[in-house]
């Protein structure tokens, strides 16, 4: 686990523009962030570095989101924020991904910061 | 929903086939029995023309028969071997004729019906003498006529002639019932095939809407997040405020579309819901809005009104009703909740000007908006959908300067 000043977040999603937008929001908040675009890259990233939070898009490709979440928890022991398309996916996110928080698109930056602050 | 559609299809198709079969059954049997009645009347005519006797003297030879064609047998007075006026037919005719004098005394003219005695025949004729004619005791055809100062009553036994007609009737009833049973079976087996195109089309439509909504969400989130960066960098101005407004509108629309899709998709879980508390709490949430707009709210909410339903959905429906009223009310809003005969009734009305009295059920159409509305046109659609999945109904109308939305659960 990183210290308070070195909080690191991994953003794992399949839409590059969306990931870039999340990255911008995190860095503007003063948080260090890395971005990957599929499940394989995400697992590689967890294995190489410690992250406090993994923001995982439920639509991530190549490796299922729940598997990515499991791997992250076993390697880093950090928290998982699931990004969903549908509010009906929340129960699935809680059961399958065992996430610590979930956000349903579309959401505002304000709402995103509230959730991130809650996890930090 | 597919099951309901199949049941509806089978019921409608069966009803149509039943109507057709019953119509055919009715026509065939009515014509059949009419023909028997016509033949019986012809026989009665011939008995009348022979003075009530219609007998062949014991040593009389039959007349030369007409050529053996059924048409001629009946057209030429029926003298052919198959006709009603044939010697064989006359000999087998079972009937009696009773004549009544002016003082009401009856006498037997001809008695050729072994099931009744002469006295019984006179008693029977006495009961019929003031009637016009027709059927009596199911299988006997009779007529009454006056001749030579007397009233004649002739009764002819048509049981033998009616038997085939009854057989046709029974056979056609059995045929109709069997036909219907087979039709129901075939329709039930084939209903999938008939209903599938409809359900496929609806499923594709919903899938398209769901996928379109889904595809909108990510780009919309990008805009919603990044516009804040623009404001941070360049400060707020008319352009950023306009982007804020439109983004909020789009986000609201996407969320409501999603709600509609979820309601349509999900089976509801029912539990007792305190509708009185839901309504009051929802109204309380709008107090500030009403105060700010100078709108007076009148509440007529019965206590402890409970309904078995999905609390989250019902809360949503009440919220949308009040939100709709808050948007359009000029000076007043009225909310009433009651329960009668096991039905929960909730009505929300707002004052309107320049609207004629009448139904406004188009208000429940998706994306329907009044000209001066700033909403997305989905609020009342959501209300209707929620009411529908609970088995209730919703109405909208204008009366006496008020726009009223009434739901019944």
Q: What percent of chain B has pLDDT over 90?
A: 33
Would B118 be classed as within a structural domain?
A: no
Contact A105 B226 (CB under 8 A): no
Find the DSSP H helices in B235-371: 238-265, 275-285, 287-293, 311-328
Closest to A105 (Cβ–Cβ): which among B218, B262, B265?
A: B218
- In chain B, the residue whose alpha carbon lies closest to the alpha carbon of A27 is B229
The whole-number pLDDT of residue A90 equals 65
Segment B54-63 shows an average pLDDT of 52
Does residue B112 fall inside a structural domain?
A: no
State the pLDDT at residue B372. Answer: 61
Q: How many domains does chain A have?
A: 1
**Residue written as token pair 């509305």:** B373
pLDDT, position A86 = 72
Chain A, chain B: beta-carbon pairs less than 8 Å apart: 58
Beta-bridge mates of residue B97: B110, B154
A24 touching B, CB under 8 A?
yes
Among A90-104, B129-143, B302-316, B377-391, the least confident range: A90-104
CATH number, domain of B388, equals: 3.30.565.10
Distance from CA of B343 to the nearest CA of A (A): 30
Backbone phi and psi for residue B173, each to the nearest 5 degrees, phi listed first: -65, -45
Does A113 have pLDDT greater than 90?
Answer: yes
Residues B213-244: pLDDT tens digits?
778 888 999 999 999 888 888 898 888 888 88
Residues of the domain holding B385: 269-408
Strand partners, B358: B398
Nearest-Cα distance to chain A for B207, in Å, is: 14
CATH number at residue A93: 3.40.50.2300
- A104 pLDDT more than 70: yes
Residue B331 has pLDDT above 60, yes or no: yes
pLDDT in tens, B273-319: 999 999 999 999 999 889 888 999 999 999 999 999 988 889 999 99
Cβ burial of B287 (10 Å; 0-12, 13-18, 19+) is exposed
Q: Please tell me if residue A18 touches chain B, with a CB cutoff of 8 Å.
A: yes
B180 domain residue, yes or no = no
Higher pLDDT, B56 or A13: A13
Yes or no: say if B121 and B108 are a contact pair by the CB < 8 Å rule.
Answer: yes
* In a domain? residue B376: yes
CB contact under 8 A, A22 and B226: no
Chain A residue at shortest CA distance from B226: A21
B199-206 average pLDDT score: 78
Q: Can you tell me the mean pLDDT for B134-139?
A: 87
* B51 has pLDDT over 50: yes
CB contact under 8 A, A21 and B222: yes
Could you tell me how many residues make up chain A? 120
The answer to whether residue A73 scores a pLDDT higher than 70 is: yes
Would you tell me how many other CB atoms lie within 10 Å of the CB of residue B335?
Answer: 23
CA–CA dist A54, A68 (Å, integer):
9
Among B226, B251, B254, select the one facing A24 at the smallest CB separation: B226
Average pLDDT of chain B, as a whole number = 84
Closest residue to B218, CB basis, from A15, A108, A109: A15
pLDDT of A88: 62
Over range B115-135, report the average pLDDT: 91
Any domain includes B89: no
Provide the pLDDT confidence category of residue B59 given band limits of 50, 70 and 90: very low
Does A27 reach chain B within 8 Å, measured CB to CB? no
Please check whether residue B116 lies inside any domain of the structure.
Answer: no
Residue B336 has pLDDT above 60, yes or no: yes
Determine the pLDDT at residue A64: 87
Q: Is residue B49 domain-resident? A: no
Is position B289 within any domain? yes
Contacts of B225 in chain A (CB under 8 A): 21-22, 24-25, 107-109, 112
What's the whole-model pTM score? Answer: 0.56
Number of domains in chain B: 1
Domain of residue A104, residue span: 4-119
Taking residues B64-68, report their average pLDDT: 50
Yes or no: say if B383 and B321 are a contact pair by the CB < 8 Å rule: yes
pLDDT-derived band at B99 (thresholds 50, 70, 90) equals very high
In this prediction the ipTM stands at 0.84
- Which of A88, A105, A108 is nearest residue B217 as measured by Cβ atoms? A105
Element (H, E) at A41: helix A39-48
User: Residue B69's pLDDT band (boundaries 50, 70, 90)?
Assistant: very low
Taking residues B166-189, report their average pLDDT. Answer: 92
């Amino acid at each position: 686990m990183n210290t308070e000043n070195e909080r690191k977040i991994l953003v794992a999603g399949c839409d590059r523009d969306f990931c870039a937008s999340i990255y911008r929001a995190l860095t503007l908040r003063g948080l260090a962030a890395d971005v990957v675009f599929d499940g394989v890259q995400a697992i590689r990233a967890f294995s190489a570095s410690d992250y406090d939070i993994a923001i995982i898009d439920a639509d991530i490709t190549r490796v299922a989101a729940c598997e990515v979440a499991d791997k992250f928890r076993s390697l880093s022991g950090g928290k998982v924020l699931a990004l969903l398309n549908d509010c009906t996916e929340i129960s699935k996110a809680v059961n399958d991904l065992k996430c610590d928080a979930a956000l349903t698109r579309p959401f505002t930056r304000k709402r995103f910061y509230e959730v991130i602050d809650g996890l930090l | 929903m597919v099951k309901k559609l199949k049941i509806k299809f089978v019921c409608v198709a069966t009803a149509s086939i039943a109507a057709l079969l019953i119509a055919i059954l009715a026509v065939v049997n009515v014509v059949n029995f009419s023909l028997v009645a016509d033949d019986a009347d012809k026989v009665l005519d011939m008995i009348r023309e022979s003075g009530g006797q219609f007998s062949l003297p014991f040593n009389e030879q039959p007349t030369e028969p007409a050529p053996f064609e059924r048409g001629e047998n009946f057209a030429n007075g029926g003298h052919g071997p198959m006709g009603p006026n044939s010697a064989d037919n006359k000999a087998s005719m079972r009937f009696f004729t009773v004549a009544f004098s002016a003082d009401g005394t009856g006498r037997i003219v001809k008695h050729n019906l072994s099931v009744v005695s002469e006295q019984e025949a006179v008693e029977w004729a006495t009961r019929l003498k003031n009637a016009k004619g027709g059927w009596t005791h199911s299988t006997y055809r009779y007529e009454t006529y006056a001749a030579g100062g007397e009233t004649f009553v002739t009764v002819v036994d048509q049981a033998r002639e009616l038997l085939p007609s009854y057989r046709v009737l029974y056979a056609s009833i059995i045929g109709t019932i069997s036909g219907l049973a087979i039709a129901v079976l075939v329709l039930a087996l084939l209903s999938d095939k008939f209903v599938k195109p409809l359900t496929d089309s609806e499923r594709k439509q919903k899938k398209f809407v769901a996928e379109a909504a889904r595809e909108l969400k990510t780009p919309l989130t990008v805009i919603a997040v990044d516009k804040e960066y623009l404001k941070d960098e360049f400060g707020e101005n008319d352009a950023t405020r306009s982007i804020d407004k439109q983004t909020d509108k789009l986000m609201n629309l996407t969320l409501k579309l999603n709600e509609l899709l979820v309601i349509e998709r999900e089976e509801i879980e029912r539990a007792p819901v305190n509708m009185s508390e839901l309504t009051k709490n929802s109204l309380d949430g709008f107090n500030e809005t009403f105060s700010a707009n100078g709108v007076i709210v009148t509440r007529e909410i019965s206590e402890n009104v409970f309904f078995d339903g999905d609390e989250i959905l019902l809360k949503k429906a009440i919220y949308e009703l009040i939100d709709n009223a808050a948007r359009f009310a000029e000076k007043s809003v009225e909310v009433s909740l009651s329960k009668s005969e096991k039905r929960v009734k909730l009505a929300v009305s707002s004052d309107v000007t320049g609207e004629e009295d009448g139904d406004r059920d188009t208000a429940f159409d998706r994306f329907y908006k009044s000209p001066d509305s700033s909403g997305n046109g989905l609020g009342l659609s959501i209300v209707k959908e929620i009411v529908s999945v609970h088995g209730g109904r919703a109405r909208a109308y204008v009366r006496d300067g008020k726009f009223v939305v009434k739901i019944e659960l």
